[in-house]
Structure 1
Amino acid sequence: MILVTGGTGLVGSHLLYQLVLNKEKVRATYRREKTLQRVKYVFSYFEENSEELFNQIDWVEADINDIPALEQAFKGITHVYHCAAFVSFEPDKYKLLRKINIEGTANIVNLCLSSSIEKLCYVSSIAAIGHKENPEALIDEQTPWNPEEDNSVYAITKYGAELEVWRGTQEGLNAVIVNPGVILGAGYWNGGSSGSLFKQVYKGMTYYVKGIVGYVDVFDVVDAMIKLMNSNINNEGFILISENMTFQEFQNKVARDLNVKPPQKEAKSWLLGLAWRLDWIGHKLFGKRRNLSKQTAKSALSITRYDNSKIKKALDFKFKTIDQSIEEICELYKRDLNN
């Protein structure tokens, strides 16, 4: 039987859909019962018998820091997809990020070892990959992480979580790690998910930025994870991106497919510098939630180009174009608007 942690998230829900469609026996963890409705809704995008597919999943309420609950979830499990994570770039959330992303992953690794799990697939992020000084140079899986850089709190904890997985491999665990770029998928239009980008563009964005990052469709992430899990590849990490493009180009493509006006003004470095400082002041004086940190402002302007050749060669993998991904997601977003 397969265990999926974080089954109610963007990756987790799409992974569950594909696994159930493949007639796999699946158990999944969740933390709050109301979030199960998200998974049902994602299933309904693609299947008329979505309720029937959803009911094939063995759901277990378990926080990844609740060891007794996890021990119950691991009973009878042979393979684990660890998708559960906390996504935040707010500096004041660092302790919570460590608790969930690093300590939680350590718990999963330890239970994989004690339960003699055959293989673990961990969903990390390109945030946990190093950078190169030359912006034109492609970043690959061998690009070293630099702890001296001004890394975001999210990146630090995802890198720390990877170290826990690699520690597990030294103790005999078979594992693979995937490092997706910005994951594009439908059904999660609010919060930290990339779906909120579609919502923001639809509502109207004034500014664009010219930073470059890698994008990937959620079904490509899921497909790569399943193929890696079913392969004889162990103890390797893989960057998952379809294309590198500017944030401006991405915003323009989404605006085109949603039939709205794209952002017209460039957010220069001085403006973003002012914005994150004002955001910090608002947090310190009034306790407002951070929307823009120094690190995310820097990321919006940075040029990072990622190399996806390793996964292509290992699995003869073909990615969906970002144009196709955006078009499909925009259609689902418009359908939700009409509903």
Structure 2
Amino acid sequence: MARVLVTGGSGFVGSHTIRRLLADGHAVRATVRSSRPAPLPVETVVADLTSDDGWADAVDGCEYVLHVASPFPAVEPEDENEVIVPARDGALRVLRAAHAAGVRRTVLTSSFAAIGYSGVFDRPYDENDWTNPADPLPAYVRSKTIAERTAWDYAAEAGLDLVVINPTGIFGPVLGSGLSASVAQVKAMLDGTMPAVPKASFGVVDVRDVADAHVLAMTTPEAGGHRFLATTEALSYLDVANILRRRYPDAPLPRPRTRRPGRPTQDVRHRPHPHGPRLETPLPRRSHPRHRREPALTSQMRVRPVDAGRTPATTRRDPCSACSVP
């Protein structure tokens, strides 16, 4: 078994990836910010995407690096570089440290944000599609696109073995105390702070499938040099609320948002945000999102996806505290 570095070990995807690695018998080291220790018992190193400090120690002795960490703004920043710069430069710091340490392969967590926010309306999206970062898009979408492009450019220049995972909206059970944006939306539905939902859809993938994809991307020889779209199907906000309503009938779950007289309905952009569309960002109405139903993951790396119709309900045991895997 190998020693693996996981960046962002205290996060939603990072903690599930660590859990899967430990179950497979790998030795795991995780980078964390000092204020958020990893929720699982692994070796930790403090390292920040905005600083060179700590990265050489973090990768020392590791055979693989899974770079999961990336900044996600709670609200749209006034200066987009608050998100873009740490995402891009942080990826470069990790890749450079991995290359200097002679790791066998690096797996980068990107997003559907880097695939499907520009100009595809006549067919499903796939791994050949790219968001154009020059388009007027939210800072997070541009940050993921720019960071992934930068990572591929560096990998080509340095001869680094790189694989990229591009998930859509990630839902599922929580291992730590922090809530991702997607889990926070489920919590808001369950506790009544989201009383109504917009008419919008987004792609859904189970966090455990995303973790499996990272580990298989690490160990599958033929995955090198490829990106993998991780998704199952599109759900609307109302679909998610109805799934939760079947499991938690007494919860104050939202109903469809009603249209105000004389005011046109505004929808969030149809292409799914990686953690669900931003409620506060009205964009022109489009058709429903379409993705390829992950044949690359299922055929090349044998991921067996969890049914999207069940995933949102697994997000909650107690949405106000840390949750365990059912």
TM-score tier after normalising by the smaller chain length:
0.7 to 0.9
Superposed CA deviations along residues 207-249 of structure 1, whole A, max 9, x for unmatched, are: 2222221101110000011011100121100110122122221
Cα deviation, residue 271, structure 1: 5.6
Q: Which of 213, 219, 222 is matched with 2:211 structurally?
A: 222
- The equivalent of 2:69 in structure 1 is 84
1:198 is the counterpart of 2:186: yes
- The DSSP-based 3-state class of the residue aligned with 2:131 is coil
**Alignment of structure 1 residues 56-95 onto 2, 5 Å:** 57-88=42-73, 89-95=75-81
Q: 1:224 to 1:78 in 2, by over 3 A?
A: same
Determine if the alignment matches structure 1 residue 147 to structure 2 residue 133: yes
Describe the SS at the equivalent of 1:27. strand
Partner of 2:162: 175
Contact in 2 for aligned 1:10/1:185 (Cα 8 Å): no
**Other structure's SS at 1:318 match:** coil
Q: Does the residue aligned with 2:25 lie in a helix, a strand or coil? A: coil
Which of 319, 325, 333 does residue 305 from structure 2 map onto? 319
1:78 maps to a residue whose letter is E
**Structure 2 partner of 1:210:** 199
What TM-score results when the alignment is normalised by the length of structure 1? 0.80
Give the Cα separation in 1 of the matches to 2:322 and 2:229.
31
Distance in 2 (alpha carbons) for counterparts of 1:167 and 1:264: 45
| Counterpart contact for 1:29–1:59, Cα < 8 Å | yes
In the alignment, what sits opposite 1:184?
Answer: 171
**1:60–1:73 CA contact under 8 A, matched in 2:** yes
* Aligned-residue CA RMSD (Å): 2.7
CA distance in 1, matches of 2:243, 2:151: 37
Q: Which amino acid aligns with 1:165?
A: A
Classify 1:336/1:119 alpha carbon distance in 2 versus 1 (closer, same or farther; 3 Å).
Answer: closer
Equivalent in the alignment of 2:296: 310
SS at match of 2:53: helix
Aligned to 2:316: 330
| CA–CA separation in structure 2 for the residues paired with 1:103 and 1:336 | 31
Structure 2 gaps, min length 5: 269-277
Partner of 2:255: 264
Which structure's residues are more often helix, by fraction? 1
- State how far apart, in whole Å, the 2-side matches of 1:335 and 1:91 are: 28
Q: Is the 8 A contact 1:121 1:175 kept in 2?
A: yes
Once the two structures are TM-superposed, the CA of residue 181 in structure 1 deviates from its matched residue by: 0.8
CA distance in 2 between partners of 1:140 and 1:118 (Å): 27
Q: 2:115 aligned with 1:129, yes or no?
A: yes
Q: Does the aligned pair in 1 maintain the 2:198–2:279 contact within 8 Å?
A: no
Q: Name 1:24's counterpart in structure 2.
A: 26
Contact 1:189/1:196 (<8 A) preserved: no
Counterparts of 1:10 and 1:335, CA distance in 2: 14
Q: Using the TM superposition, name which of 328-337 and 113-122 deviates more.
A: 328-337
Aligned length: 302
- Give the partner amino acid of 2:7: T
Describe the SS at the equivalent of 2:170: strand
1:185–1:194 Cα contact (<8 Å) kept:
no
CA contact (8 A) 1:211 1:299 kept: no
C-alpha contact 2:126 2:291 (8 A) present in aligned 1: yes
Residue number in structure 2 paired with 1:243: 233
Q: Distance in 1 between matches of 2:190 and 2:285?
A: 20
Tell me the SS of whatever aligns to 1:3.
strand
Report the alpha carbon displacement of residue 130 of structure 1 after superposing the two structures with TM: 3.0
Gaps of 5+ in 1: 41-53, 276-290
1:164-190 CA-to-partner distances (Å, cap 9, x unmatched) read 220132120001100111111333686
1:237 and 1:182 map into 2 onto residues whose CA distance is: 17
The change in CA–CA distance for 1:300 and 1:15 in structure 2 (over 3 A counts) is farther
Residue 320 of structure 1: how far off its partner (Å):
0.4
**Within 1, Cα distance between the matches of 2:198 and 2:163?**
34
Percent identical: 24
TM-score (norm 2): 0.83
Indicate if the aligned counterparts of 1:175 and 1:235 stay in contact, CA closer than 8 A.
yes
Contact map agreement 2:177 2:321 (CA 8 A) in 1:
no
Report what 2:143 is aligned to. 157
**Contact 1:214/1:244 (8 A) holds in 2:** yes
SS for the counterpart of 2:165 is: strand
